A and B are shown apart, each in its own frame.
Chain A
Amino acid sequence: MDWDQIRLHVVTGKGGTGKTTVAATLALTLASGGKRVLLVEVEGRQGLAQLFDTAPLPYEERKMAVAAAGGDVYALAVEPDAAVLEYLDMYYRLGRAGKALEKMGALEFATTIAPGLRDVLLTGKTYEATRRRAPGGGFTYDAVVLDAPPTGRITRFLNVNEEVSTLTRMGPIHRQAESIMTLLRSPETAVHLVTVLEEMPVQETADGVHELTEAGLPVGAVVVNQVRPSPLPAGVLADARAGRVDRGSIAAGLEAGDLADLPHMTPELLGTWTDGLAAEVLEHAARVALEDQEAARLSHLGQPVLSLPRIAEGIDLGALYTLSETLTRQGVRAPDLRAHS
């Protein structure tokens, strides 16, 4: 995977792992230093508007955030019905016929009996934005980040144009489908998988990497989200992992930390707190052991691993910038197109 070549970043992940947060963070990171990045949302849930704390996004590209050192992140929430009409008009200049399609319920057709056609349009719109040229001849966007469907559906979603190209055999849709597949299979595209260090998401990530590879789609990084560095010193953690926690030492610490002087404190309550804190330390050590095991499984997948810390207070715009800095430190960047052209 070569950061200087990738222009289309597809971000997928199991539900609940923070896929949208990672997509937004990635867009901010790629934009830093004066780049222009488009962040595309396709699942119609307005997750980006919630994340950036703005009103629901209309179906148009609008500036969403300014990145570090002056880049711009644009966001687009693709509305499938509007995308059908736009797409038909752009590629086939249908005009009146496009309106007829709308009246005949063709849009419902697209989303009902053949919901996959929706995927065709969503990937088509993303393709168009990635390939779009500015008047000066360079690309409009240095990079495009797609907040894509979850891991369980990603291969099917990206490969939908393969189906279309087989089904159509010839004609403009066939050619369009072929061009989209060519981009999606090229080194200009990378599919990143977001996970957390838990068994099921890691399993799904492993399955996803396998499926994408089988389908000839370029797998990018595995992004481990919500990583919690242990607040325990290494020696204490090692003891706890061996099941050893010195309750006397905790009790002494509670005294030294003035907690024994709290109003309503009794020796019994102090004992309960000591036992409770010891139990939390043991539970934490057990979880760290499981996380290490899952991290080892991920490192065996053979993909580059990026990691993002957990933000205890929840995600807001400020948190996105903090997360973005950690990605920059891990080498994430957009290609420097101006240097080449």
Chain B
Amino acid sequence: MSGPTRSREPRRLDVDAILDDPSVRIVVCCGSGGVGKTTTAAALALRAAERGRRTVVLTIDPARRLAQSMGLRELDNAPREVAGIGADSGGSLDAMMLDMKRTFDEVVIAHASPEKAAAVLENPFYQALSTSFAGTQEYMAMEKLGQLRALGSWDLIVVDTPPSRSALDFLDAPARLGSFLDGRLIRVLTAPARAGGRAGLRFVQLGLGVFTGALTRVLGGDLLGDVQTFVGALDSMFGGFRERAEQTYALLQDPETVFVVVAAPESDALREASYFVERLSGDGMPLGGLVLNRVHATAVPGLTAEQSLAAAERLEESPQHALAAGALHLHAERMRVVERERRLARRFTTAHPSVAVVEVPAFPTDVHDLQGLRDVGESLAPRSSAATS
């Protein structure tokens, strides 16, 4: 209503067209933390299942009650069927939560001989890396996605991404892993393990003693030993590891994948969404569109904040109008929020005019049951256009 011209309105994102398209096999929900990614992923997956697709949703760190609503009570790292979904349509819904440590262990076991795997799993450096270090979650989410796709048991995989500050972390993890594995540091660290002490000595003669000496001083000899053992043991697995990271990245560039960027109408979240949209187009990754969560609406769009406040002031001295004055103040506050959100959304759509957008209204309570997820799915669907304009 307040937009300059009708033609400036962004294209509306049609999630049903994405969910119904049999050539779409993966939907990735990404965006910065706190914008409702997990809920969006779960709602899309449920909707796909109820529209007849055999669907699995991979959640990363769901809120407890949301997880419970899908029957997820523990981290068991394997998809479990959500009972009673899609019986009429022929679809089904499986859900799982990512167990980062177990996924990492599985990679090690799958790629190394039993003895080597045992050595890696016991290595203190590996144990710290696989449980407590940040960033591992991104690798493992990618790895799990690759595994699920390779199983081929589903028509559609919907993936939530880790709750990092930067939405780009998820995309960058595998590429960083690849470049790291090509790095010289790895070659130096693995050289002694590969060829024994002599090669190590030769490296020292080549001047690298400065380097390992420095590392030993900084890290302490034991840690360097642990790292060398770890890297040495991983050596044989690196080929497979790296290949898979590359395959998964290629999978993300395939037309069978659609990215859905999730944001809230706040400047930080929309800035992250912008970075992500630019990155996707730069890397030739297929963008479905933007889901804008928690958009505030008003039942009285024609009454501006200013008119509302002016009227409230006129009523101030009359106690019999306390309700009306309060309601007008409330409405003025609401209009300010609505206007700010619209301005932010417009800034995004002006910068990215080709990106389709769908708005999800702010729900008064958090979503934590299947009906709540259905309602979110319904508001994402084409015909339920919210009456805000």
Q: Would you give the shortest CB distance from B251 to chain A, in whole angstroms? A: 21
- CB of A98 within 8 Å of the partner chain: yes
Partner among A114, A152, A157, A280 whose Cβ is within 8 Å of the Cβ of B327: A280
- CB of A171 within 8 Å of the partner chain: yes
In the complex, are the beta carbons of A312 and B218 less than 8 A apart? no
- CB of B210 within 8 Å of the partner chain: yes
Residues of A within 8 A of B336 (CB): 312-313
Say yes or no: A15-B34 contact (C-beta < 8 A), given A97-B211, A114-B129, A231-B329. yes
In the complex, are the beta carbons of A314 and B340 less than 8 A apart? yes
Partner among B34, B222, B323, B364 whose Cβ is within 8 Å of the Cβ of A283: B364
Closest B residue to A97 by beta carbon equals B214
Say yes or no: A156-B132 contact (C-beta < 8 A), given A88-B218, A198-B366, A312-B337. yes
Residues of A within 8 A of B215 (CB): 101, 106
In the complex, are the beta carbons of B211 and A104 less than 8 A apart? yes
- CB of A136 within 8 Å of the partner chain: no
Secondary structure dominating the interface of B: helix
Residues of B within 8 A of A81 (CB): none
Counting chain B CB atoms within 10 Å of each CB, the highest count among A14, A50, A174, A256 belongs to A256
Which of B88-96, B140-148, B297-305 has 4 or more CB atoms under 8 Å from chain A?
Answer: B297-305
In the complex, are the beta carbons of B134 and A156 less than 8 A apart? yes
Partner among B34, B129, B134, B324 whose Cβ is within 8 Å of the Cβ of A257: B324
Which residues 331-369 in B have Cβ within 8 Å of A in the complex? 331, 333-334, 336-337, 340, 364-366
Number of interface residues, chain B, beta carbon within 8 A: 79
- CB of A138 within 8 Å of the partner chain: no
Question: Complex formed: what's the CA distance from A171 to B223 in Å?
Answer: 10
Say yes or no: A96-B163 contact (C-beta < 8 A), given A109-B180, A113-B129, A115-B133. no
Question: Complex formed: what's the CA distance from A296 to B331 in Å?
Answer: 27
- CB of B184 within 8 Å of the partner chain: yes
Q: Would you give the shortest CB distance from A223 to chain B, in whole angstroms? A: 16
- CB of B24 within 8 Å of the partner chain: no
Residues of A within 8 A of B218 (CB): 88, 92, 94, 171-173
Residues of A within 8 A of B210 (CB): 96-97, 100
In the complex, are the beta carbons of A276 and B300 less than 8 A apart? yes
Residues of B within 8 A of A88 (CB): 214, 218
Residues of A within 8 A of B32 (CB): 15-16
Q: Would you give the shortest CB distance from A93 to chain B, in whole angstroms? A: 10
Partner among A96, A114, A174, A253 whose Cβ is within 8 Å of the Cβ of B324: A253
- CB of A118 within 8 Å of the partner chain: yes
Question: Complex formed: what's the CA distance from A174 to B220 in Å?
Answer: 8
Q: Would you give the shortest CB distance from B17 to chain A, in whole angstroms? A: 29
Residues of B within 8 A of A160 (CB): 132-133
Residues of B within 8 A of A105 (CB): 180, 183-186
- CB of B110 within 8 Å of the partner chain: no
In the complex, are the beta carbons of A116 and B330 less than 8 A apart? no
Residue-wise interface mask of A (164-204) relative to B, using a CB-CB cutoff of 8 A (1 in contact, 0 not): 00111111111000000000000000000000001111011
Which of A57-65, A243-251, A317-325, A330-338 has 4 or more CB atoms under 8 Å from chain B?
Answer: A243-251
In the complex, are the beta carbons of A253 and B321 less than 8 A apart? yes
In the complex, are the beta carbons of B135 and A14 less than 8 A apart? no
In the complex, are the beta carbons of B326 and A231 less than 8 A apart? yes
Question: Number of contact residues on A: which range applies?
Answer: 35 or more
Q: Please give 7 more A-B residue pairs, beta carbons under 8 A apart, in addition to A94-B217, A280-B299.
A: A103-B184, A108-B180, A112-B179, A149-B134, A169-B220, A201-B34, A232-B326
In the complex, are the beta carbons of B269 and A16 less than 8 A apart? yes
- CB of A17 within 8 Å of the partner chain: yes
- CB of A286 within 8 Å of the partner chain: yes
Question: Complex formed: what's the CA distance from A246 to B323 in Å?
Answer: 8
In the complex, are the beta carbons of A277 and B163 less than 8 A apart? no
In the complex, are the beta carbons of A106 and B185 less than 8 A apart? yes
Q: Would you give the shortest CB distance from B7 to chain A, in whole angstroms? A: 25
Closest A residue to B340 by beta carbon equals A314
15 inter-chain pairs at a CB distance below 8 angstroms, sorted by A residue, are A16-B269, A94-B218, A97-B210, A98-B214, A104-B185, A113-B177, A159-B132, A166-B124, A167-B124, A172-B220, A173-B218, A231-B326, A249-B323, A252-B324, A257-B311
Question: Complex formed: what's the CA distance from A112 to B211 in Å?
Answer: 19
In the complex, are the beta carbons of A168 and B132 less than 8 A apart? no
- CB of A214 within 8 Å of the partner chain: no
Q: Would you give the shortest CB distance from A304 to chain B, in whole angstroms? A: 24
Residue-wise interface mask of B (226-238) relative to A, using a CB-CB cutoff of 8 A (1 in contact, 0 not): 1000000000000
In the complex, are the beta carbons of A253 and B323 less than 8 A apart? yes
Residue-wise interface mask of B (139-176) relative to A, using a CB-CB cutoff of 8 A (1 in contact, 0 not): 00000000000000000000000010110000000001
Which residues 261-286 in A have Cβ within 8 Å of B in the complex? 262, 269, 272-273, 275-281, 283-284, 286
Question: Complex formed: what's the CA distance from A151 to B34 in Å?
Answer: 11
Residues of B within 8 A of A45 (CB): 165-166
Which residues 223-239 in A have Cβ within 8 Å of B in the complex? 228, 231-233, 235-237, 239
In the complex, are the beta carbons of B326 and A236 less than 8 A apart? yes
Which residues 269-321 in B have Cβ within 8 Å of A in the complex? 269, 298-300, 302-303, 307, 310-312, 314-315, 318, 320-321
Residues of B within 8 A of A159 (CB): 132
Closest A residue to B314 by beta carbon equals A257
Say yes or no: A116-B299 contact (C-beta < 8 A), given A16-B35, A167-B226. no
In the complex, are the beta carbons of A273 and B300 less than 8 A apart? yes
Residues of A within 8 A of B302 (CB): 269, 273
In the complex, are the beta carbons of A277 and B328 less than 8 A apart? yes
Q: Would you give the shortest CB distance from B312 to chain A, in whole angstroms? A: 7
Residue-wise interface mask of B (192-227) relative to A, using a CB-CB cutoff of 8 A (1 in contact, 0 not): 000000000000000010110111011111110010
Closest B residue to A175 by beta carbon equals B220
Question: Complex formed: what's the CA distance from A109 to B196 in Å?
Answer: 23
Question: Complex formed: what's the CA distance from A109 to B223 in Å?
Answer: 14
Question: Complex formed: what's the CA distance from A232 to B333 in Å?
Answer: 12
